[in-house]
Structure 1
Amino acid sequence: MDTKKKTFHCKTTTEQELTGKKILQNCRNQLYLDFPYLDGAFASLEYKADSSIDTIGTDGELIYFNPVFLMKKYLEDPAAVRRGYLHMLLHCLYLHIFMESDRDSGEWDRECDCFVEQLIDKAVGEGKISLKKRKSDDTQVNTNTFDDHIFWQRTAGQASGGRRTKEKWEHILAYTSQNKTGMQSRAGTQTNDQQEELDEIYRSKYDYRKFLKQFCRLREEVELDTESFDYIFYSFGMEHYGNIPLIEPLEYKEVNRLEELVIAIDTSGSCSGETVQRFLGETYGILSEKENFFSRMKVYIVQCDCFIQKVDVIHSEEEWKEYIRNVKIQGRGGTDFRPVFELIRQEKERKELKNLRALIYFTDGDGIYPGQKPDYETAFVFLKRTDKMKLVPPWAKCLITGTGQTAEQMSV
């Protein structure tokens, strides 16, 4: 091992650069065997030696590497370099390198590193990739990652160049999602008839409409009850006014109403704006049926990918209709479900949520789930039956929406 290290130090600058590029190409080829659907992402990064940095990093166009560091690290632990390569690729794929202007860079770096490391750990745990799993403690993230994020700031400072790079990775993200779905579909062994039959079974078992209706809470609300009246006044009129009944409707009745609801929308690259509109439209159709809305209700609509992107609070049927007409999807990064649960916890502490009935999370299911069961009903809603439904925690409901639509119409 010592001899190899000395050999590296004796190489010329050109030889070191060529060796570094070969190392990265080898890592890419090995990762491609585990993740063939990432072919577009792998092909989008070139390599460039840069001795001004201590480790490696990327700006979404190039992977910059310190040749001496890379050769030394690869000799010590090839798997760590492969993991580092995948780590950087996921940063690009989930648009982390395009930091939001109002975010603290240190906090952003830590959150993004934690997110991609958990994704990699998940792949390792499922046997999708042959890498060592890091320690689960988040404090270990910094010791397991070594990419330099300085290039993210440079990308953010480039107006037209940064915009083009971001658009490129947005297209790659969409392509990757379709590519992965297509490969999974081709790998299936069931006939179309069998698949359609299973879809029907799942739709019947995991009926979103049925689930949502059960959370309409019985509550007394003051309103005219035109179907019943006070019989005392009725009899009085018949007796004293020549068979003229006095009808006075009761001024209240018990009705099924939804008090508070949180609807979270997974705005990762796999969910289109049209798909989200259809989901909200179906939800509105269920809730707007006779006597299912309070005159003043409270529904949170939260857009979230790996971070909370937008929160809207709906108080009336009119506001809901307006939201659906003008909804704009924000995010398009990776998926982490936990920020929504944290948002709910904070809102309950602030007494903004007092009678929360349920959290409904519309998603494709590919993300990081919370480890603890909350004190309210939770349902993850899918467009159609998928293997990702197996990832949903046992304490949460798993539902299918889109009844009456074909699989092609409902495709994410």
Structure 2
Amino acid sequence: MGQEVIVVREFDAEKDCLGVEEMERRCEVGPSDKFSLFTDLYGDPICRVRHSPAFLMLVAETSEEKEIVGVIRGCIKTVTCGKKLSRNGKNGGNDNTLKPLPVYTKLAYILGLRVSPSHRRMGIGLKLVSRMEHWFRENGAEYAYMATEKDNEASVKLFTDRCGYAKFRAPSILVHPVFAHRLRIPRRIHVFRLDPSEAETLYRRRFSTTEFFPRDIDSILNNKLNLGTFVATYDQESWPGAERFLADPPESWAVLSVWNSKDVFALEVRGVSRVKRGLAKTSRIVDKAFPWLCIPSVPEVFRPFGGHFLYGLGGDGPHAAKLMKSLCSFAHNLAKDRGCRVVVTEVSSREPLKLAIPHWKWFGCAEDLWCMKRLGEDYSDGSVGDWTKSPPGLSIFVDPREV
């Protein structure tokens, strides 16, 4: 009996949805007692990448029975990979101040690689990655990267040992549960919601040199899944407008944006004992009955649920951390009003505001792992060299479309 032939082809939404969903249900995605991807909502397996400017989904199927046994998703975008210094003089002016400018590169991202347990160790994962990288190169991508849990040995070995990727960054995934009670925000702190155009101005002027900053930030801010960009300041009764704010910023300020992941995919916590489930339920009952006690209750996370993702976190000034904490409280209350059970973000391990972001260690991941590969020649202006060998900066910009 010959070896089973596996065919890799492009995903067909009309006939492959049920097969992909069934295959992904058979896969163990993450350890027990932790968050794991459960299923994409509305029977749409490609929904996690379709918001990107260029995306592709491939499936691997058996040639005879036409059973889907593997899947991979990928997208391409243009992001900041470093910065260069340029003179600030315009039209022959005398201002020779050095100004940092972003250096962009075309970056591909691999996510959602799954292989059915019954067909592992057959080279299907390698075949899917190779085909996806071929599409990346055809579309001009200069680098490709992927994210996985640091202790996912099978995934790490596949990409680093067999696919030529190198360990690149180790950000932290921070998860905060949504309680039955609302979180309080100090009266002195005011939170302002920016319209997409003003948010774009703020992000481009202050964050465009941050590593992984997407050049099409306007597409993200105008996406229907984006719930808003919010700025917190002290004792400021009204928002002056982005231009005036940037020209004369307050002593301290903080900013973040909220992405509605609840309408993209669902999560669940698996492998938790009945005792822990009972304690969690008790905490919810008490919190709901006595909200003024502000008991940190555990939400119902043992069935599929949704959450919000916080991105574009930043700020400046001696009190930026306190303002960021209040913004996170604001985001918690927004998530509560919209029926979410967690608020999630991902930041660099060196992020200055990391300690100000409330989170529960049990829910999150102290060290995620991003692996990077150079696909070809670097078409940027040469200011960065090989990005895969560059040292990490203080911050990264996590694109919510790839979460």
TM-score range, shorter chain: under 0.3
Name the larger-Rg structure. Answer: 1
* Larger proportion of helix: 1
Higher relative contact order (CA 8 A, sep 6+): 2
- TM-score with structure 1 length normalisation? 0.21
TM-score by length of 2: 0.21
